[in-house]
Amino acid sequence: MKKFISFLYNRLIQRVIAHSMSIDRIEDERKVKHVIYTTVFTAIGAFAFVPVHLFGAQSWLAALCNAVCGFLSIIILVDLWMRGRLKQSVWFTVILTSLLVIIVFWALQGEYQISAYLVIPAGFAFLLLGGKQGSAYSVCYFLVILTIMLTHLGSWPMFNQSYVALLNLLGAIALSLFWGYIGEYIRGGSFQELEVIADSDSLTSAINRRSFFAHLQGLKQQATAERMTFAMMIIDIDYFKSVNDTYGHDSGDRVLVDVVKLVKGTVRSGDIVGRIGGEEFALLLPNLTRIEAFSSASRLCKRVQRHEFTSTDGARISLTISIGVTVITPDKDMMTPEDIYRSADSQLYRAKRSGRNRISIDSR
């Protein structure tokens, strides 16, 4: 079973990444794991309870519901395998587990301790949908359960003697919703903090190389789908080694931090700024034409050239940058993220060969 799950996971995550525009691969991987485990064990449990409900509880409806849900669980996995549509698979998984529990609960009229399963879908909702969507879904789920209980308050055996059973059941479901929300809230906050740390360059607070290329992959997919133009720039600080040799590495680090601040203060709020090497930075600028990209690069060069950098002992440092620019238009949708990076990188070296403090932009 473990090898089967591992094989299934590796195959599905490849399909999801190939079809997804999300840049959050870690979150996608987490959701794929949850979908696999939830659907596989839902199918196993559903099929296992078919004879139990058919012969033990003598409810053909509950048995039929289990069989149908078992097959639907398999279909969800097949659809994810074939199409890689993670978002739809997540929602189908949550809805399927809820329908299974609700229909069986209704078919058995709350007997055979079936009500114990009512708390499960809320947990799945928070696990797969997150805090906000999980909360909204769980409230709707709770209202459906409440409606069923109130409708059959006087007719079902578990409710016709006392309101205590009803109150206990509703209380258990409400508490499961509450603790599910609290757990997801804490987990989500911790995860976001770890994600920021993992994606950021510890010195400059720009995103790191891994995160930058994840953004590039996502932007490329978005541009292909929407026929959008975007630009990528690679910035290199001219003669940065001499700064370290003359003023020390602490001053060099200070310069790197200041350069990132200048770049972020010059580009638009939605543009992506990353550090991809020692003194090399890269930018992603969506919805930018070739002329606009060159103009933006010119502003960056002038801003850095006019800025007075200082060393740790207060000495003034004059700096310039060179920028390589590539603009991706809809007719270049065959270019891979690696091709885009190589194009911008070749333009950077062209700029540096032409004398530094230069901009080189692709001519295509």
Round the CA-based radius of gyration of the chain to a whole number and report it.
Answer: 28
Tokens of 356: 């530094």
More confidently predicted of 29 and 234: 234
Q: Are 62 and 109 in contact (CB under 8 A)?
A: no
Question: What's residue 250's pLDDT?
Answer: 93
pLDDT tens digits for range 197-239: 667 888 898 999 988 998 898 889 888 888 899 999 999 999 9
Q: Are 243 and 252 in contact (CB under 8 A)?
A: yes
pLDDT tens digits for range 73-101: 888 888 877 777 778 888 888 888 888 88
β-pairing verdict for 230-237 and 321-328? antiparallel
Question: What's residue 74's pLDDT?
Answer: 87
> How high does pLDDT run on average in the chain?
82
For residue 81, the one-letter residue type is: W
- Torsional sign, CA 24, 30, 36, 38: negative
75 backbone φψ class: left, alpha, beta (φ>0; ψ -120 to 50): alpha
Question: What's residue 348's pLDDT?
Answer: 94
**Per-residue pLDDT for 304 more than 80?**
yes
Most confident of 7-21, 29-43, 190-204, 263-277: 263-277
pLDDT tens digits for range 162-189: 566 666 666 666 766 666 666 666 566 6
Quote the percentage of the chain above a pLDDT of 70. Answer: 79
By annotation, the residues acting in catalysis are 279
**Per-residue pLDDT for 20 more than 60?**
no
Mean pLDDT for 296-309 is 94
**Per-residue pLDDT for 337 more than 70?**
yes
pLDDT tens digits for range 124-158: 787 788 777 888 888 888 888 888 877 877 677 76
pLDDT band at 24 (very low <50, low <70, confident <90, very high): low
Question: What's residue 33's pLDDT?
Answer: 78
Q: What is the number of other CB atoms lying within 10 angstroms of the CB of residue 325?
A: 26
Among 297, 303, 299, 305, which Cα is nearest to 348's?
Answer: 297
Q: What is the dihedral of CA 123, 126, 132, 138, to 10 degrees?
A: -30
Mean pLDDT for 44-49 is 86
